[in-house]
Structure 1
C-alpha cells in the first residue's frame, strides 16, 4: 500500500528497503508473529536490484539473477515463498570480441585459435616475454594480469571490460582482485593441451582450465525475479502483521533514547512516522548515516563511500532470438555497452510476442555522468547503433525501446572503504544494538542475492533471540560462489558469538571476503601517499 498515514505506526520492527534483504526479514518476522512496517522509495516495484520491470508486456531483469545457492536454508525459503513458478533454464554466457564469440570463463586454446595465426603468435610472444622478464613490482590489476597472460592477451580480454564495469583504469586497480577472480587458466597449459589433442593424445575437456564444474543450468522464476519478491510482499501483508509503504524514502531514523527507534519516511502523499523496538536498514550505508539522529561520529567516513551505477536499455526486436546466450560480455572498446542480456533466454515468458525478441544493453556509469543523464530516446538510439556496430542485430528490425536506471548497483571497494565501513559498524554495534544493517548496500558489501537474504535471515534470528547470536558480517561472499558447486550443499554453521548455542539447520555463512578493484595509492616525491585515481 502507498497511502501516507497521519498518525504514528507502532510495530516491533521497522525496515528500510523492500529488496531481497528487507523482504526476507519482513517475511520471517511476520511468520514468527512480529509486526513490521517496511518503507520502499520506489512507487511501483519491490525487489530492489532484483525487481522485474514491465514495459508494454515485456519484462526486464535488472542485471540477470540466477536462483542458485549453496545454502539449503535459502533454497528452502525460495521454494516456500514461490513454490510453483520456477523453471529450469540452460546456462550460457560468452565473451564477444571483434565479431567472434569466446567461451566464458575464457578457454585459452580456443581464444588463440579464434584470434588467428598472427594474433595468436603475437599473444604467445608477449606471454613468453613476460615469463622471461616478469614485472617484479606488481601493484595493479594490469601488472598482475599482464604477468599471467602477456600484454597482448591482457589488452584483448581483460582491460576493456574491467574498465567499463568499474570506471577505473586497470593500472589503478588492486592486483588482489585479479589474483582472486582470474583462476584456473594456464596459457602454457592450454597450448600444450591443444597440441596433445591435435595429435589425438588427450581427449579430456580441459582446454587449459583446472578441473572445475560450472553451473550448466539454473532455476529462474518464469516471469523474472520480481515474482519472488512480489510474492513475499503479498505474504507479508496477508499475515495482517506487515505493511509495505511504497513511494516513501527514509527521512530520519532517530533513537528514542530507550533502545527503540522513531523512523520518518517522506513520500509524495506526505510523511509517515513509524515507532519500533528494532530497526533494520538495507539502505546504502552512506545514506543511512546522513539521516540518523543523532548523527554518528562516523558520518564523515561514510560520506566517502562510493557506488557504481548502471542502466539497461531494452530493445524490442522483430524476428527470432538473436543469440542463445543468457548474456554476453562485450569486450570491444569501440562501443560503450558492457553486457547484453537476452531476456527470452532467461525465460520465454518475459516476452509477450513469440515473433519478437528482446535484448537489454547494460551500461555501467556513475549517477549524473554523461550516460546517466542522456535522454531515453538518445539512449535507445545509442543502443541500437551499438548493436549494429557489433553486428548483433539489424536496426531496421528494432520496434521500440525503453530505459531502466539503477542507482548504487555496486558498492565500490576503494582504498579507504574497509576502514570507513569498520568505523561505522563499530560505532553502531556499540551504541545501538537494536539497529541492524543487512544486504549489499546496507553493509556496503558486494554480495549476491542469496547472501543478502542470509544476512536478513540471521538478523531475524538475533532479534527473536533478543541478543546477537550470529555475526552477520561473516556471511559468505566468495567470488566463485555462483559459478560452481551443488545447490544446497553447504551445511556449515554461521559464525556466532562466543558461548552461544545455535541450531544445526542453519546454512553456511563462512568468514570469507570478495575482493573488487581498489585504487592504487603510491608515495609521492615527498613520501606522502598520493591518490592516483583518474576521473572516470
Structure 2
C-alpha cells in the first residue's frame, strides 16, 4: 500500500514584528496550518510598542495604554499576561482602591503579569494644569479666567447652531468645541505634533482618533463616572479618550510583544528573523512567489504563499519585481508624508512642581502618565512620567523620577539633526523654563531615542491614498496591516484588528479586502464593542 505524501504546509511572510505583525503570526498559528515567518529590520520586536532598556530603567516609546472596546482584544492581552491579583509597588505605598483578580499573579513576586493602572493625563497651559479632556469645573474656570471662559461658552454655542463642512481637522475640532477652545487647546498643539496647520490636515484623522470626543461626550462622562467602581476596567460605553483605567504590562509594552514572540517560536511553530530588512517582493503569474531580505551577512531569498505587510506603504511599493507599479501609484505612495519622533529620557531626583490633590501620590509626585505641553515657547509636545505607567519601569522608584520628553519632527530637519548632547541640553532647559524642573543639577542620567516614520500624516499625497490601496489590493496574496502598513494613525488595538481580519480572510479564502481597510474608518469598526 502506497503511503500518501503529506501536503507541504504553506508559509506566510509577515513584514514587521510590531503589534500587527506579531498578532498576525499568533492568529495564523491559532486558526490555520500556515507557517508564519516574520521579518524585522531592528534587533528587537515590538516596533513602536517596544520597551527600551537604559541603565536599569525602561522607556515606553510614545506611551501605550492597553485598552480596547473589543473584548477579544482585551482577552488576547490578558491571556498572554494575566491581570494582577495583588498590589504593585506603588499600590502598597499609597491608598489603593483597585479591584484585583482573585488568584492573579503578585507583581511584587512574579514578572509575567499585566497591571491595572489609573489613567490621569492633563494639559499644561498658561503654566497651569487642566484636565484632559478639558472638563467644566471651578478649577478650569479659575485657570482660564472669566473672560476666556465666557468666550469659550459663546464659541461653543455658535458651533452648535452652525456646523461647518468638515473639510479639514480644523473644521472637525471647531464643530465639536467651538473656535475659542480650538484656538486654546488644539490649534497650536496639533501644529506642533504634525508640523502643519490643522486646516491642512484631513478631518478623517479626527474621525479615527477622537471621533466620540466632544463637549456633549464630556458632560455625559462627568454624569456617569461616579457610578463606576474604582479600578474597574469595564468601560464599554466610554469614548476612548475618556477612559479612567487601562492595562499595562509590568515591564512596559515590549514585555507583551516579547511574550508573543515566545508564543510564535514555541516548539518551532513559527520563525522570527531579526535584522532582516525586506528589499524585494517577487511577483510571477499573478501572485507573490518569494521575497528577498537584506541581513548583516548578505541577502536571503524566501519562498512564500502569502505576504502580510506592516512596513510603510512608502517603502513597500519600491520593492516589487516582476510587476510594474503604475507611475501615478508610485508617485503617490513614495511621497506619502510621515512625522518622526524623538524621546529624551531624563532621570531626576525630584521635580519642582508638586501634587497636592487627588488621588494621593507617593511623595506628592504628579500623578500623570503623560502631560500635553501646550506652552507655545517650548518645542516639547508631551511629557511622560514613567513611574506612573508602572513602578517597575524605574530601577529606584522611591528615590527617582524617570521622565520621557517627546518631540515631533521630520527626519533630517533641524531638530532631528541636533547632536545627542545638544538635544538633551535643550530638553532639560525647556523643563526648567516651564517650571517642571528646578534646575539641571537634579538630573542624574539621560538618553535619547529617535524613531522614523512614527506617525503617518494626513496631508499631501495622503488624499490620493486610495489609488495606492486599490492597486495593492489587486495582488491576491498581499495584505496590508497595521499603522504603517495602511498609512493610518491607528491605535494599537486597531492595528491588531487589521491583522486578525487579514488572517480571517486568508482562512476563509475571501478575495475582497475592504473589511481590512475599513477597520477604524467606518462607524461599525471604530473602537468597536461587542455585546
Q: TM-score w.r.t. structure 1 length?
A: 0.77
Q: Partner residue of 1:389? A: 433
Asked if residue 262 in structure 1 is aligned to residue 290 in structure 2, the reply is: yes
Deviations 1:210-229 (A, max 9, x none): x9673211111000010111
Q: CA deviation at 1:92?
A: 0.3
Q: Partner residue of 1:342? A: 385
8 Å CA contact 1:98, 1:390 repeated in 2: no
d(CA) in 2 for partners of 1:123 and 1:450? Answer: 34
Q: Partner residue of 1:311? A: 342
Q: 1:412 aligned to 454, 457, 460, which one?
A: 457
Q: Partner residue of 2:94? A: none
Matches within 5 A, 1:497-512: none
- Residue aligned with 1:308, SS: strand
Q: Partner residue of 1:372? A: 416
- Residue aligned with 2:451, SS: strand
Moved more, 351-360 or 29-38: 29-38
Q: Partner residue of 2:264? A: 236
8 Å CA contact 1:108, 1:186 repeated in 2: no
Matches within 5 A, 1:515-530: none
Q: CA deviation at 1:476?
A: 3.0
Deviations 1:439-482 (A, max 9, x none): 11111122111111111112122223333376211223579999
8 Å CA contact 2:347, 2:403 repeated in 1: yes
8 Å CA contact 2:279, 2:293 repeated in 1: yes
8 Å CA contact 2:374, 2:381 repeated in 1: yes
d(CA) in 2 for partners of 1:107 and 1:402? Answer: 35
User: Where do 5+ consecutive residues of structure 2 fail to align?
Assistant: 1-8, 83-111, 227-236, 351-362
Q: CA deviation at 1:75?
A: 2.0
Asked if residue 185 in structure 1 is aligned to residue 215 in structure 2, the reply is: yes
d(CA) in 1 for partners of 2:309 and 2:160? Answer: 52
8 Å CA contact 1:285, 1:444 repeated in 2: yes
Q: 1:158 aligned to 170, 186, 197, which one?
A: 186
Q: Partner residue of 1:40? A: 40
Q: CA deviation at 1:140?
A: 5.1
Moved more, 452-461 or 278-287: 452-461
Q: Partner residue of 2:501? A: 458
d(CA) in 1 for partners of 2:525 and 2:364? Answer: 30
d(CA) in 1 for partners of 2:161 and 2:66? Answer: 44
d(CA) in 1 for partners of 2:188 and 2:159? Answer: 23
Q: Partner residue of 2:358? A: none
Q: Partner residue of 1:198? A: none
Q: CA deviation at 1:288?
A: 0.5
d(CA) in 2 for partners of 1:324 and 1:481? Answer: 32
Q: CA deviation at 1:292?
A: 1.2
- Residue aligned with 1:371, SS: coil
Q: CA deviation at 1:67?
A: 1.1
8 Å CA contact 1:78, 1:228 repeated in 2: yes
d(CA) in 2 for partners of 1:19 and 1:128? Answer: 40
Deviations 1:72-100 (A, max 9, x none): 22222222323341110111000001221
Deviations 1:242-288 (A, max 9, x none): 22111121111111436342111112222122111111111011110
Q: 1:219 aligned to 247, 250, 261, which one?
A: 247
Q: 1:332 aligned to 372, 375, 381, which one?
A: 375
Asked if residue 82 in structure 1 is aligned to residue 66 in structure 2, the reply is: no
8 Å CA contact 1:446, 1:477 repeated in 2: no
Q: Partner residue of 1:475? A: 519
Q: Partner residue of 1:116? A: 145
d(CA) in 2 for partners of 1:176 and 1:284? Answer: 19
Number of residue pairs matched? Answer: 459
Moved more, 335-344 or 373-382: 373-382
Moved more, 59-68 or 137-146: 137-146
Q: CA deviation at 1:34?
A: 2.4
Q: 2:135 aligned to 99, 107, 113, which one?
A: 107
